[in-house]
């Protein structure tokens, strides 16, 4: 492990230099990884492992025709590398449980009865295990229980891999029945395309993840954007101007500077007027939102959020309700303006992504 200084606190991380792809292949040489669920994370992790030379099969219910058809389109062969869930579990030695959190309660009985001593049960989120009174996921003591949680959507996991860069992931070992759980976990982390891995626990991962998704990463970001857009429109600014000053400049310019070298770097590369205003108003926004984040964290820790997910997402008509909610966002003036703005962006025809099968970076990671 490398010890890295994160803002004055030293933490241990695993890099591809310390755990190269060649080592991951050796660890997984005699394993068959069964990816259960071909929805959000499943396609990216399965395809990345396949491209990295790992033996992978997919388990997907035919009842979800869209996901089954997507797997077939991606090259998985029914009866050879694509099976129903129960048969995939029987054929696998490492079972990657990548179905939606709310679906775990329904899928777990199909998986549990086919797990054998020495198998590994893999998660990419702590939800199923930490909230097992809701999901019913309670593994027996004779299997490894591990987690690799990429810090990004499945789309980003696959895109970063194809572009030759890694996505950072957290990892955890909840149960080591074989004495090989850690090696299996890290090997899978490298095989799915992680740039580096940092240790956590299942509970810490799910708590930070649920807080982040509801907060800065999605919920807060969307809410703040809508609030600023509405204020600008109320005072007579055009939709294009309100959208550009709220979303477009953030996503196409400023956030890229933050990504490069941090918030101070972004501030330093803006006008003096922008710097002064940002520095003066930042404390006000922090003071205004801190109580909301405290409330959010308490809601996650108390398991209220998990219960809400299971209750809402498990309803038979949930997909119809979700579509209505997403359509309201899509059809709002703000995001209709956004569609028009995006259509006006200059097209970059010089960049093309090509699939590599030599591991991340288009070169041997060994």
Active site residues: 125
Contact 330, 235 (CB under 8 A): no
Secondary structure of the chain as H, E, C letters: CEEEEECCEEEEEEECCCCCHHHHHHHCCCCCEEEECCCCCHHHHHHHHHHCCCCEEEECCCCCHHHHHHHHHCCCCECCCEECHHHHHHHCCEEEECCCHHHHHHHHHHHHCCCCCCCEEEECCCHHHHCHHHHCCCCCCCCEEEEEEECCCHHHHHHHHHCCCCEEEEEEEEECCCCCHHHHHHHHHHHCCEEEEEECCHHHHHHHHHHHHHCCCCHHHHHHHHHHHHHHHHCCCCHHHHHHHHHHHHHHHHHHHHHHHCHHHHHHCCCHHHHHHHHHHHHHHHHHHHHHHHHHHHHHHCCHHHHHHHHHHCCCCHHHHHHHHHHHHHCCHHHHHHHHHHHCCCCCCCCCCCCCCCCHHHCCCC
Contact 218, 227 (CB under 8 A): no
How far is residue 195's CA from residue 346's CA, in Å, rounded to a whole number?
31
Beta strands across the sheet bearing 120-123: 2-6, 9-15, 194-199, 167-175, 144-150, 120-123, 94-97, 33-36, 56-59, 82-83
Contact 27, 183 (CB under 8 A): yes
């Amino acid at each position: 492990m490398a010890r890295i200084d994160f803002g004055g606190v030293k933490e241990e991380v695993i890099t591809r230099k310390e755990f190269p792809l060649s080592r991951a292949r050796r660890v997984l040489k005699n394993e068959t990884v069964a990816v259960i669920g071909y929805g959000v994370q499943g396609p990216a992790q399965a395809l990345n492992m396949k491209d990295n030379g790992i033996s992978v099969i997919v388990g997907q219910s035919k009842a979800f025709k869209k996901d089954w058809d997507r797997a077939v389109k991606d090259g998985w062969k029914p009866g050879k590398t694509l099976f129903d869930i129960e048969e995939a579990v029987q054929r696998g030695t490492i079972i990657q449980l990548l179905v939606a959190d709310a679906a775990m309660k329904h899928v777990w009985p199909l998986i549990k009865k086919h797990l054998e001593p020495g198998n590994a049960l893999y998660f990419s989120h702590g939800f199923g295990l930490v909230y097992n009174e809701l999901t019913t996921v309670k593994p027996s003591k004779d299997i490894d229980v591990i987690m690799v949680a990429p810090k990004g959507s499945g789309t980003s996991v696959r895109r970063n891999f194809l572009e030759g860069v890694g996505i950072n992931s957290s990892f955890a070992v909840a149960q080591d029945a074989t004495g090989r759980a850690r090696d299996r976990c890290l090997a899978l982390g490298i095989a799915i395309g992680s740039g580096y891995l940092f240790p956590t626990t299942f509970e810490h991962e799910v708590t930070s993840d649920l807080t982040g998704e509801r907060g800065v990463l999605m919920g807060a970001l969307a809410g703040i954007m809508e609030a600023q857009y509405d204020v600008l429109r109320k005072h007579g600014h055009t939709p294009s101007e309100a959208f550009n000053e709220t979303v477009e400049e953030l996503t196409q310019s400023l956030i890229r500077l933050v990504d490069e070298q941090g918030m101070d770097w972004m501030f330093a590369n803006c006008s003096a007027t922008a710097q002064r205003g940002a520095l003066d108003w930042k404390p006000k926004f922090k003071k205004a939102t801190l109580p909301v984040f405290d409330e959010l964290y308490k809601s996650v820790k108390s398991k209220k959020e998990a219960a809400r997910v299971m209750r809402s997402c498990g309803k038979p008509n949930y997909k119809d309700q979700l579509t209505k909610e997403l359509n309201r966002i899509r059809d709002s003036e703000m995001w209709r303006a956004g569609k028009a703005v995006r259509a006006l962006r200059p097209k970059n025809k010089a960049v093309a992504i090509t699939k590599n099968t030599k591991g991340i970076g288009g070169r041997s990671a060994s």
